Chains A and B, each alone.
Chain A
Amino acid sequence: MTTATQRPTPAPPQVQAEAALFLAVEAELIDDRRYAEWLDVVTDDFTYTVPVPVTPDNPFAPHHDPEALLLDESKDSIRHLWFRRLEADMHEFAWGENPPPQLRHFVTNVRAYLTGDPDELAVRSNVLVVGRRQSDQPKYLSAERFDTLRRGAAGLLLARRHAVLDQTVIDFPQPRVLL
């Protein structure tokens, strides 16, 4: 099906490079488990959502339900309910994350588009996340991310991430993951 929608305008090459570098560094902070630094590169109103994957019968419907979510987090919820329990005084009882799962992000196909707001970019990227639980063989999650990057005094910040999984039955060690 083709529709006569206007194609989004790609950002100029220098901005593309800036966005790609931002996403690579942002992934580095997660993979290195430098959570306090990661919180510094997201906005206070940051939201993170992942819709529920599904195999539809309609060939024109997406492989997810846009109305139903698997993950729905804010900067505060990630700070308090994800990262806080991994700090030294609590980590012993974060049983499912002790030893901590090792993540590795491969970020590719970064496309930055201009939006109506001169301070915001709509950035799409593909991500492959490799996850290792204990000494098990690694598992993989592939997804497309729809991010909003916002420019402030401190440079680009991640304001929104919506990630669509490429897997209907999730066999990752645990689906509680920052894609």
Chain B
Amino acid sequence: MADASRDVTVPRRVWADEDVHRRELVRIFKTCWQFVAHESEIPEPGDYVTRRIGRDSVIVTRDETGQVRVLLNTCRHRGVPLCRADRGNTSHFRCSYHGWTYANTGELRGVTFQRDVYGKGGIDKSQLGLFQPAQVDSIYGLVFATWDPEAPSLADYLGPMRWYLHTVFGKFDHGLEVVGPPVRTMVRANWKAEGENLSGDGYHTFVTHQSAVELGLFATQHDLAEMAEVTGTRFTGRTVHCGNGHTMRIQRMPLQVKAPAYFGYPKEMWDEFDRNLSEAQREAQSCLSVGHGSVFPNMSFLENFKTNVDKKGDHARYIRITLRYPMGPAMTEQLWFLLQPRHADADWLRLSRLAYLRTNGPAGMFEVDDTENFVGITEAAAGTVAADLPVVLEGGLHHPPTPEEAGWPGDVADGDRTEKTIRAFHGRWQELMA
């Protein structure tokens, strides 16, 4: 497949412009499917978390029949939010203003002093349930919603991305669960700055994260030699555009193995991965250094291998989801989720958590350095002259397409020091904003 986004050009005003931001809220955040929660966050009937879709507050809850519901967090009467907490459990939501009460299906059940206020016939409660997205669906426990009744199904929206999501989220016999509530941070950067980076920027790693490399957090030659036969010093990768702006980057360690090797996971888990992945997916996961990508527009995931995070010689892997809310042209709220496999060994779970927190967690070393770039891009783009300059996005245009025999779906290229996924991200953004 040809690189459909090869000619995309991005003026820097998209990072800091108030009008662009307002249009994004309508053209992108009111139409696209967006990640809202993981099902493990609301395991029991009545459990809820509050989230956002664009700037709108929503309640994500499991109703009394077990169905996951997404409800706009504002009373249909006069607009007061029903939930004020980040999470909790309740079968009903009662408004603090006039007491209208809703079941956690969203249905309006009770109107206070109804006869007094609305007369003998009352008010038609059936028309006044909590407003809900046009579609809600989930895949591997990841719950998505869209306001757009015309949007394709979630499966069609994701397309080939489902294959890659399976490699990350679908390989565990007992699934994954989110550990604790997500950390929430407010960053003075445009939401697209981190978004485009996480789409698959393998170019910045050895510069932005040079100190992490020097401190041994990326597998050193010594670490590699402990794992398998080392084939070189260069980590190789592939980048993928799955359509609709969904992208993936997969980087492999230079190791020779006889059978798929899932370094960083406990050995006793490897059999289930073999069983749950296809041959091509096993290859995508074997000797994985890092796999990360984005579901357009604002959800990214990262499956990362880190070394020497607690003791010398430690090898650990973790899965992270981040979600970005556009709070202004130069302000983003980011949510950080750590996901861990259920029923895994306690010592490994601890090491996986430490590896996450100390590197790519909200207070991790990588994020300190990355964030500086994202804030900087946004600040510089506020300049009148800078706003008109284009971003240079030609990296990796010469990278060859991956042969179809590899069996990786989507538009795949060999090479991950590239701007391929960033062009795809902006290409999709421009289609929607046009």
Q: Specify the chain A residue showing the minimal Cβ separation from B186.
A: A171
Q: A55-B85, A68-B181, A73-B358 are in contact. Are A95 and B372 (CB under 8 A)?
A: yes
Interface size class of B (residues with CB under 8 A): 35 or more
Separation in Å of the B304 CB from the closest CB of chain A?
15
Q: A77-B310, A168-B184, A174-B368 are in contact. Are A55 and B358 (CB under 8 A)?
A: no
Separation in Å of the B90 CB from the closest CB of chain A?
7
B369 close to A96 (CB less than 8 A): yes
Within 8 A of B (CB), among A61-86: 65, 67-74, 76-77, 80-82, 84-85
From B83, B86, B309, B361, A54 is in contact (CB under 8 Å) with B86
B185 close to A169 (CB less than 8 A): yes
Q: Specify the chain B residue showing the minimal Cβ separation from A101.
A: B368
Separation in Å of the B205 CB from the closest CB of chain A?
13
Q: Which of B217, B362, B373 has the most CB of A within 10 A?
A: B362
Within 8 A of A (CB), among B143-188: 179-186
Bound CA span A80–B311, Å: 10
Q: Specify the chain A residue showing the minimal Cβ separation from B213.
A: A93
Chain B residues in 8 Å Cβ range of A170: 183-186, 362
A54 close to B87 (CB less than 8 A): yes
From B83, B84, B363, B365, A70 is in contact (CB under 8 Å) with B363
A97 close to B368 (CB less than 8 A): yes
* Chain A facing B: main interface SS: mixed
Total A residues in contact with B, Cβ cutoff 8 Å = 38
Bound CA span A74–B358, Å: 11
Q: Specify the chain A residue showing the minimal Cβ separation from B50.
A: A55
Say yes or no for A175: interface residue by CB 8 A criterion: yes
Bound CA span A177–B181, Å: 20
From A69, A95, A96, B357 is in contact (CB under 8 Å) with A69
B357 close to A72 (CB less than 8 A): yes
Bound CA span A107–B423, Å: 49
A68 close to B180 (CB less than 8 A): yes
Within 8 A of A (CB), among B180-201: 180-186
Q: Specify the chain B residue showing the minimal Cβ separation from A169.
A: B184
From B181, B333, B358, A77 is in contact (CB under 8 Å) with B358
Say yes or no for A4: interface residue by CB 8 A criterion: no
Task: Show the binding face of B for A, using Cβ within 8 Å.
Answer: 83-90, 179-186, 208, 210-211, 214-215, 217, 309-311, 333, 353-354, 357-358, 361-365, 367-373
The 7 closest A-B pairs by CB, nearest first: A68-B180, A57-B88, A96-B368, A57-B85, A171-B186, A93-B210, A175-B363
